Each structure stands twice: as C-alpha cells, then as structure tokens.
C-alpha cells in the first residue's frame, strides 16, 4: 500500500531466516575448529611426553635397568604397547609409566632392542598412548643409545 512505512511480517521473517542460516554455518565451522585445536593440543602433549622420556632414557648409563629388554623380544617387540612388564598380554612393553600429562590421560611405554642396529647399541622406541572418545591414539619416537 502506498504511504505505508516499515517492514511487513514476511520481510522480517525472511531476514531472520537468512541470518539464522548464516549463523548455523558459522557455528559449524567454529565447532570444527575447536575440535581440531583440541586434537592438536593432545598430539603436541603426547610428542612432548614421548620426547621427554626418550631424552631421559638417552641420559641414563648404558647398563641402567630402564634400558633393558625385559621380555627378550628384541626388534620384534619395539612396537609393543599393550600392557606393562608386570601384566600378561601378547604385546608386553619393556617398561611403562601411566597417568602422565594433564589429566593423567597418557600412558608412556618404551621398548628396548639390545645390539640393534649394531653391537654395543640399543634401539629405544617410546610410545605415547591416549584415548579420544574411546578411540586409542598413539605416537612413536625412536632413538639409538650407544655404549
């Protein structure tokens, strides 16, 4: 109608609908970004903990008990991270530390292979394991300790 000023109810509803569609899109991106940031933070902490453990092991004397292949599986057992040395399982790690990092959400396992890759050396593989929404995650860091 000529002379009427303002917006009709339909125009207001259409404007609100367009705003709502844009807001939902931005919210989805924001949620995805927060989840990615959380995973990156967890991964960074796992790398820090594993690297810290490897450096501590590298600083020990060559004959230290923490650098022993306690189950004698050598190279074949470098990736074992199923349980600690006192537990019974197929993939028994040589040593472990549980409840590490913030909230104690990480378990650090390490395995040793003696005289690998050369005589008078030990290959040490450190594995950091944690869980995200019931899905196990892990990273491995490997180093060689010489006599």
List, for residues 90-140, the tens digit of each pLDDT value.
678 888 898 988 889 999 999 999 988 899 999 999 999 999 888 999 999
Residue 125 vs residues 26, 30, 66, 138: alpha-carbon distances, Å: 43, 37, 12, 12
What percent of the chain has pLDDT above 90? 46
Q: Per-residue b/e over 68-80, b at no fewer than 16 CB within 10 Å?
A: ebbeebeeebbbb
Confidence of residue 51 (pLDDT cuts 50, 70, 90): very high
For residue range 21-38, list pLDDT tens digits in order. Answer: 999 988 888 888 888 888
Among 58, 82, 83, CA closest to 142: 58
End-to-end CA distance of the chain: 94
């Amino acid at each position: 109608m000529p002379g009427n000023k303002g917006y009709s109810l339909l125009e207001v509803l259409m404007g609100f609908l367009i705003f709502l569609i844009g807001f939902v899109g931005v919210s989805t991106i924001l949620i995805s970004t927060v989840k990615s940031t959380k995973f990156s933070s967890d991964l960074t902490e796992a790398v820090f903990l594993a690297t810290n453990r490897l450096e501590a092991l590298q600083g020990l004397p060559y004959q230290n008990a923490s650098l022993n292949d306690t189950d004698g599986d050598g190279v074949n057992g470098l990736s074992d991270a199923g349980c600690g040395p006192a537990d019974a399982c197929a993939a028994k790690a040589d040593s472990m530390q549980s409840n590490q990092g913030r909230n104690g959400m990480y378990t650090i396992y390490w395995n040793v292979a003696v005289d690998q890759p050369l005589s008078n050396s030990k290959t040490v593989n450190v594995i950091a394991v944690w869980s995200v929404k019931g899905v196990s995650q892990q990273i491995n860091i490997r180093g060689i300790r010489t006599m």
